[in-house]
Amino acid sequence: MYGRPRNDPLFGPPVSNASTDAERAQAKVRPCSTSRTPNRWPGRCAPRCRSAASISPHSTCLELVARQFGFSDWNVLSARLEEREATSVTPLTLPKDWFVVGSVGDTTHRLGLDPDRPGAALIESIVARGQGKDLTGLIAVLMQSIGAQDFLGQRLRLTAELKVEDADAATLWMRVDGYERRGLSFDNMMERQTDGPLKGTANWTRRSIVLDVPEQAASLHYGFFLKGYGRVWARNVRIEAVGGEIPVTMTRLGETGDVSRMPRRPANLDFCER
């Protein structure tokens, strides 16, 4: 039937009575109203009753719903709902001695310890591709910063195992800074032709960076990051001194930070402390 069902949980109790129903049946006219029916449920509006020939297609109904909520069209409302869902995602616990940087927020990414993989940290985007905020090119970083005084004159190698799922790009990175806010060396593997960043979906893969720490170095900065969409896990992070026979991977200038506030040694590289 095309009329409103009795005691419908969405539209409320019927507005017709027995006499009007009988009159309509005698006139062989289906129930129809030219005005909206008052509603008991806030945020919902009862649609006009209409004949089968006048029922709007699904897409038109979605546009009407969007306008009722004050949006120009359904696409805008859908994007807003996606952002609302993202805010309800449970945040991850940050591992001790690690912190988050990058052009991201709680409505775009989750960063921290993966409760399903002990000993692994996770960075993941929580906005679906093509919906809500465009994450293309945005970087989410989990990192540490330490003083360089205990490593002066050494060649250091940063290694870790990475695992990715539907990732635009994910990688390790490391930077050595001087006291005058001038970077001494840097590598994030993004420009490598081989053994570079992981993309798409891949199982645990070892990656490494090798940089010199000159006598004028002030601080070290390192970690892993996700660029764009997807997921990346990291585990078995390690920093060690290596001999001169191991070549450095890349150098370039950058900037540094406040060295006096940085710890002197790496910590919690196995992500076991909270």
Domain count, the chain: 2
pLDDT number for residue 261: 67
pLDDT number for residue 222: 97
pLDDT number for residue 164: 98
Question: Residue 109's beta-bridge partner residues?
Answer: 125
Residue 273, in any domain of the structure: no
Q: Which domain holds residue 31?
A: 18-84
Residue 11, in any domain of the structure: no
pLDDT number for residue 60: 77
135 and 221 together in one domain = yes
191 and 230 together in one domain = yes
Query: Which whole number is the average pLDDT over 98-110?
Result: 89
Residue that is last in its domain, among 32, 54, 84: 84
232 with 170: CB under 8 angstroms?
yes
Query: Which whole number is the average pLDDT over 90-100?
Result: 93
Read off the pLDDT band of 25 (50, 70, 90). Answer: very low
Looking at residue 18, its amino acid is A
71 and 114 together in one domain = no
163 and 231 together in one domain = yes
| 191-205 pLDDT per residue, tens | 888 999 999 999 999
Residue 150, in any domain of the structure: yes
pLDDT number for residue 155: 97
pLDDT value at 262 more than 80: no
Residue 189, in any domain of the structure: yes
Residue 140, in any domain of the structure: yes
**Of 1-5, 204-208, 217-221, 223-227, minimum mean pLDDT range:** 1-5
pLDDT number for residue 195: 93
130 and 218 together in one domain = yes
Residue that is last in its domain, among 30, 59, 84: 84
pLDDT number for residue 6: 40
pLDDT number for residue 30: 45
**Of 86-100, 101-115, 132-146, minimum mean pLDDT range:** 86-100
**Separation CA 208–CA 129 (nearest Å):** 30
70 and 197 together in one domain = no
139 and 250 together in one domain = yes
| 124-173 pLDDT per residue, tens | 999 988 888 899 999 999 999 999 999 999 999 999 999 999 999 999 99
166 and 41 together in one domain = no
